[in-house]
Amino acid sequence: ISFPRMGTAARVVITVGWLAALAPLAWGRQEALEDRLPHLEYARLFDAFHSWSNRLGRTYGSPDAKRTAIEHFYYNRKVVLACNEASVTTGFGCAINGFADESHASFNAARLRPFSKLDMRYAPEATHDASVLPGGHLPSSHDWATSSLLGPVRDQGACAGSYAFAATAAIESLHAIMTGRSQPLSEQMLISCAGGGGCDGDLPHNALGWVHAKGGLSSDASYPYLSTNGSALRCGCCGGAFGLCAPTQPECERALTTGGYFEIPSGDEALLLDAVAQQPVISAVDASAHTFMLYAQGVYEPPAGFGGKNGPSPNHAVVIVGYGQTAGNVAYWKVRNSWGSGWGEDGYVRIRRGTHALGIGSYAVYPATPTAPIRCAAPTDGDVRLSALPRGVVTVYENGAWRALCAEDKHVLVGAGNLVCKQLGYGYAEKAESYHTDATQTLLTGQRVCAQDDVSLLQCANRQNARGCSAMLGVECAPAAPGSAAAQVRTEAGAALQFC
């Protein structure tokens, strides 16, 4: 299916009425759909439904169940057609996806639950403190999903367990950023064991807090997901049936842990942008719009009036993995959902940025790295650090002080950047850039011209600039080869990721 691209014209206000007018209420119908539609129209609908259901391997337990599925398919298809007719002005398109045989109401009832801070059982470690780059410099766009660090998008099924899927994705992402290795984690352990609502919803805050309090989370391989039908199942054990563990069967080994979680004030998109530049961030959204259920591509923004006078009501947890802007300068968040890779843009959605669309940015949290085992030794000459990981401004310890590196000559940035990343346990510098500063910044050392056999920045040739220096070196480090261990890394105090 192809959709018209969004033009540069002003967005036309689309009211919720165009959706409401599509489908009369299903309750109390006296006449079957096949009797209400012209014969040829119903025959075409029947063929389209069978082509779709055969492709997905769908079967139905009775003729009545199949007729109901066809009716839902009919109304969902009308929503898709109306959505795509409006796509030139709205900027997004819809498609018949794997949910096309469900009613909008039953889909939402199975997967969405309202969020409330009254349900919070674990407090945050702290509120996010912006610290990515001195002077507020942030990349104009970033996408963690293109870095091969994020695993495949998963499907929560008919279970309101988005909180568990968002928490595991965020923890997995943080681990992959730090080590370059992927470790799929168990959503089922959170749903069955974390003391929340199971398939009746919970806050991702509680999932992250529980992982920290219990010393970690099991791998998906040792505790696989079985709640696709909406049954939370009792807390089980490795090698045994859920709730039927023999005394000799152990608890699942914990694969990864966290240091709790950080919180971002609701609606503060500047802080949210800063945090997403460092690592993927969990957020709540209002996912109840019919067009969101059938979203296919583009930058999503709900119809005017969505949510009523009180605005969006968060009911679904997602993970913000990036941000950017379209060729038409429409700013967006890139968001990872948990409705499978067949939904949206390979399981992702771009949501309009700067308008608080769908309530994005509410209930925003991200996992903190575990800090208990780490003991930072006093810095010595030649130690390097970043303002944040794996991207930030470089400082080097020299003669009792941390100093930024001059970056006036762009031709020698890559050599110094590669050496910095190797010292920090990464593979190489994916980017090495200069960031302009002012007189309030710490004194800069001269520009370092590094050779391949240099092992410390202090060994590199020091090219002084008689005119002074007004730009600092910033790098984005790429992970080391899979299987290699990243070194413990020192970052500036106050950064979200703080290691020696």
DSSP 416-463: HHHHHHHHTT-SEEEEEEEEE--TTSPPEEPEEE--TT--SGGGSEEE
Domain of 401 in residue numbering reads as 384-478
- Clarify whether residues 177 and 256 are in a common domain: yes
Check residue 351 and report its DSSP letter. Answer: E
**Rounded CA separation 349/333 (Å):** 8
- Consecutive 10-residue averages of pLDDT for the chain (500 residues): 41 40 44 85 94 96 95 97 95 98 98 93 78 56 86 96 97 86 90 91 95 87 89 68 46 76 88 90 97 98 80 95 96 98 98 95 89 54 76 82 79 84 82 68 66 80 70 80 44 36
- Among residues 308, 338, 367, the one where a domain terminates is 367
- Clarify whether residues 348 and 438 are in a common domain: no
First to last CA, the chain: 50
- Clarify whether residues 98 and 116 are in a common domain: no
Whole-number pLDDT of residue 9: 38
Q: Is residue 236 assigned to a domain? A: yes
- Clarify whether residues 97 and 237 are in a common domain: no
**Rounded CA separation 142/165 (Å):** 22
Structure-block tokens of residue 368: 């903190």
144: three-class secondary structure by DSSP: helix
**Rounded CA separation 179/422 (Å):** 13
- Among residues 48, 75, 102, the one where a domain terminates is 102
- Clarify whether residues 24 and 50 are in a common domain: yes
**Rounded CA separation 457/471 (Å):** 17
**Rounded CA separation 106/479 (Å):** 43
- Clarify whether residues 89 and 120 are in a common domain: no
- Clarify whether residues 403 and 301 are in a common domain: no
Q: Is residue 490 assigned to a domain? A: no
Phi, psi of 179 (to 5 degrees): -115, -20
The CB-based long-range contact list for 407-411 (8 Å cut-off, 24+ gap) reads: 407/432, 407/433, 407/434, 407/435, 407/447, 407/469, 407/471, 407/472, 407/473, 407/474, 408/434, 408/447, 408/465, 408/469, 408/470, 408/471, 409/447, 409/463, 410/434
- Clarify whether residues 175 and 289 are in a common domain: yes
**Rounded CA separation 371/380 (Å):** 21
What is the distance of C-alpha 46 from the center of its chain?
38
Q: Is residue 36 assigned to a domain? A: yes
Angle between the 39-56 and 63-85 helix axes, to the nearest 10 degrees?
Answer: 100
Q: How many degrees, rounded to 5, is the angle at CA 150 between CA 144 and CA 156?
A: 120
Angle between the 204-214 and 162-179 helix axes, to the nearest 10 degrees?
Answer: 60
Cβ count within 10 A of residue 159: 27
* Residue (of 413, 429, 411, 430) closest to 421 by Cα position: 429
Q: Is residue 175 assigned to a domain? A: yes
Overall domain count for the chain:
3
Stated pTM of the model: 0.71
Q: Which residues contact 248 (CB under 8 A, 6 or more apart)?
A: none
Q: Are strands 126-127 and 261-264 parallel, antiparallel or unpaired?
A: parallel
Q: How far is CA 205 from CA 195, 374, 498, in A?
A: 13, 24, 20
Q: Is residue 500 assigned to a domain? A: no
For tokens 């970056």, name the residue. 407
- Clarify whether residues 293 and 333 are in a common domain: yes
- Among residues 102, 132, 152, the one where a domain terminates is 102
Check residue 122 and report its DSSP letter. Answer: S
- CA R_g for the chain: 26
Whole-number pLDDT of residue 129: 67
Q: Is residue 324 assigned to a domain? A: yes
Q: Is residue 406 assigned to a domain? A: yes
367: three-class secondary structure by DSSP: strand
**Rounded CA separation 303/15 (Å):** 5
Structure-block tokens of residue 6: 């969004």
**Rounded CA separation 491/477 (Å):** 13
Burial annotation 163-179 (CB, 10 A radius, 16+ → b, else e): bbbbbbbbbbbbbbbbb
Q: What is the CATH number of the domain that holds 218?
A: 3.90.70.10
Q: Is residue 286 assigned to a domain? A: yes
- Clarify whether residues 260 and 118 are in a common domain: yes
For tokens 């259901």, name the residue. 53
**Rounded CA separation 211/468 (Å):** 49
- Clarify whether residues 353 and 403 are in a common domain: no
Q: What is the CATH number of the domain that holds 417?
A: 3.10.250.10
Whole-number pLDDT of residue 6: 42
- Clarify whether residues 237 and 259 are in a common domain: yes
384: three-class secondary structure by DSSP: strand
H helices within 299-434, ranges in order?
Answer: 413-423
**Rounded CA separation 54/58 (Å):** 6
Q: Could you tell me if 481 and 373 are in contact, meaning their C-beta atoms sit under 8 angstroms apart?
A: no
Q: Could you tell me if 343 and 97 are in contact, meaning their C-beta atoms sit under 8 angstroms apart?
A: yes
Structure-block tokens of residue 189: 């352990």
Q: Which residues contact 255 (CB under 8 A, 6 or more apart)?
A: 183, 185, 216, 217, 218, 219, 222
Q: Could you tell me if 371 and 168 are in contact, meaning their C-beta atoms sit under 8 angstroms apart?
A: no
